[in-house]
């Protein structure tokens, strides 16, 4: 029988203690957690339910279904079955003897209609935004969490090795994405990528070969009609893989809820010199940023280090996109969701702390020609950084 994955009680207790400290500092009496990833983070289960976390005292998990599984998975000591969300206020009042005055919700992800419903259940309470407290708590990864991400990294490394051994000309980008995703699922990839932004789709098959990687707009591209569809203008498309062209593969992997996000450059047979030079330059920029990672460094400094690296190598124009479409970030936090706080952006003044974990992804776009990029996951240590990614940071010519 396969061992049941379970978050240790010590992890849950530590997370509850940290969020309670933040609630007290913010003058918030309690937090009602609904979003499934946050629920999993603080309770250990993603069953249909609600987690009430008071600023002081034990949390209460209210489960609609399925109670036996929630009790098996969660380290929360007080778990009650309910039949309807309308029972939530009464159950809280019965357990604690009162209702909170200021109650936090996940405003960053709750639909307006849903929030209005829960607000109606607590008409006397002051409903406030608790999402920033949650995101800040999740921002620092524990030793146990990093061990889980290393397990995901091992699966990702096997997928990249499979890609190296099976990539062939003639497959469409989408077809090849399906081929290696099937292998990924066989070895444990959960397939479902968690993203917090409701406008973002989570999928594991970014494959941009040759001109597909340079498509800023399909209408002015010589490959118009061969790329992704208007309904899903991202990821892999109908263009066939060809020898002697750059192929950028950006792979997201998830195992037991923990994500990896990595990009490597490939070519079949050979890679044109211009693309190879750009790919090697991106690797140098990637490594220069890592060389400057240590606690106390403002995140925006990493952005400027990468930008300076691109400029000194003569890649200012394609770096982070064509001049008129440049992005303002070089990476993002990562963990139980693909993109977490903080973002490695030009404006982020947050100082690096041990336990912060990022996907670093400097990239270049040569308009209507090709893209070049490298992406690896690392964590900030007491003295610098440690790569969690296990895929060699190099160009793979297969």
Q: Could you tell me if 245 and 284 lie in one domain?
A: yes
Q: For residue 240, what pLDDT band results from cuts at 50, 70 and 90? A: very high
Whether 333 and 186 map to the same domain: the answer is yes
Count of structural domains, the chain: 2
Please check whether residue 270 lies inside any domain of the structure: yes
More confident residue, 139 or 214: 139
Q: Examine the domain organization and report whether 326 and 224 are in the same domain.
A: yes
Residue-wise pLDDT for 245-279, tens only, equals 999 999 999 999 999 999 999 999 999 999 999 99
The pLDDT, as a whole number, for residue 228 is 66
Torsion of CA 154, 335, 283, 350, to 10 degrees: -150
For residue 4, is it within any domain? no
| Same-domain status, 110 and 152 | no
Per cent of the chain over pLDDT 70 is 96
Question: pLDDT, tens digit, for every residue of 28-74?
Answer: 999 999 999 999 999 999 999 999 999 999 999 999 989 999 999 99
- Which domain-ending residue is among 138, 160, 175? 138
pTM above 0.75, yes or no: yes
Is residue 1 in a domain? no
Question: Of the residues 138, 153, 174, which one is the last residue of a structural domain?
Answer: 138
Q: What is the pLDDT of residues 67-108, one digit of tens each?
A: 999 999 999 999 999 999 999 999 999 999 999 999 999 999
pLDDT, position 387: 98
Is there a domain that residue 377 lies in? yes
Asked if 335 and 138 count as a contact pair (C-beta separation under 8 A), the reply is: yes
Query: 207 with 328, same domain?
Result: yes
CA distance linking residue 223 with residue 325, whole number of Å? 20
- Claim to verify: residue 245 and residue 313 sit in the same structural domain: yes
Tokens of 189: 């990839």
Domain containing 89 — which CATH number? 3.40.350.10
82-to-52, 66, 79, 91 alpha-carbon distances in Å: 13, 10, 10, 9
Question: Is-cis flag, bond preceding 139, omega within 30?
Answer: no
Question: Which residue, 101, 119, 138, sits at the end of a domain?
Answer: 138
Clarify whether residues 224 and 212 are in a common domain: yes
Same domain (yes/no): 169, 23: no
Structural domain including 146 reads 140-397
Q: In whole angstroms, what is the distance from residue 47 CA to residue 50 CA?
A: 9
d(Cα 207, Cα 15) in Å, to the nearest integer? 37
pLDDT at residue 220 greater than cutoff 90: no
The answer to whether residues 256 and 326 touch, using CB atoms and an 8 Å cutoff, is: no
Please indicate, yes or no, if residue 2 is contained in any of the structural domains: no
C-beta neighbour count of 130 within 10 angstroms: 26
Same domain, 174 and 128: no
What tokens were used for 144? 């146990």
Give one word for 197, left, alpha or beta, with left for phi > 0 and alpha for psi -120 to 50. Answer: beta
Q: At what angle do helices 273-291 and 299-312 cross, to 10 degrees?
A: 150
Q: Is the pLDDT of residue 232 over 90?
A: no
């Amino acid at each position: 029988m396969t061992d049941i994955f379970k978050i240790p009680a010590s992890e849950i207790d530590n997370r509850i203690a940290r969020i309670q400290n933040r609630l007290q500092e913010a003058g918030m009496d309690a937090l009602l957690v609904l979003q499934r990833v946050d629920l999993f983070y603080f309770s250990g289960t993603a069953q249909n339910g609600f987690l009430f976390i008071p600023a002081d005292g034990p949390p209460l998990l209210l489960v609609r279904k399925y109670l036996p599984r929630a009790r098996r998975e969660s380290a929360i000591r007080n778990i009650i079955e309910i039949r309807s969300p309308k029972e939530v206020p009464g159950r809280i009042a019965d357990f604690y003897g009162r209702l909170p005055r200021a109650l936090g919700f996940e405003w960053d992800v709750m639909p307006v209609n849903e929030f209005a419903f829960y607000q109606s259940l607590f008409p006397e309470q002051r409903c406030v935004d608790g999402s920033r407290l949650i995101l800040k708590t999740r921002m620092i990864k524990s030793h146990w969490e990093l061990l889980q991400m290393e397990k995901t990294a091992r699966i990702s490394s096997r997928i990249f090795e499979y890609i190296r051994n099976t990539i062939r000309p003639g497959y469409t980008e989408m077809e090849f994405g399906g081929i290696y995703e099937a292998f990924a699922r066989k070895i444990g990839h959960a397939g479902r990528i968690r993203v917090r932004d409701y406008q973002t789709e989570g999928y594991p098959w970014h494959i941009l070969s040759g001109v597909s990687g340079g498509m800023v707009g399909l209408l002015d591209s010589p490959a118009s009609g061969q790329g992704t569809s208007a309904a899903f203008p991202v990821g892999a498309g109908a263009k066939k893989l060809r020898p002697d062209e750059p192929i950028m593969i950006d792979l997201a992997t998830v195992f037991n809820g923990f994500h990896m996000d990595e990009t490597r450059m490939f070519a079949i047979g050979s890679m044109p010199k211009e693309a190879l030079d750009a790919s090697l330059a991106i690797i140098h920029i990637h490594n220069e940023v890592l060389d400057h990672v240590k606690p106390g460094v403002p995140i925006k400094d990493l952005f400027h280090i990468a930008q300076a690296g691109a400029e000194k190598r003569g890649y200012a124009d394609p770096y982070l996109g064509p001049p008129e479409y440049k992005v303002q970030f070089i990476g993002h936090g990562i963990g139980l969701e693909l993109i977490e706080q903080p973002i490695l952006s030009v404006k982020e003044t947050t100082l690096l702390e041990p336990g912060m974990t990022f996907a670093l992804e400097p990239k270049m776009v040569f308009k209507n020609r090709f893209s070049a990029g490298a992406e690896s996951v690392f964590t900030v240590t007491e003295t610098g950084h440690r790569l969690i990614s296990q895929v060699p940071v190099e160009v793979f010519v297969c």
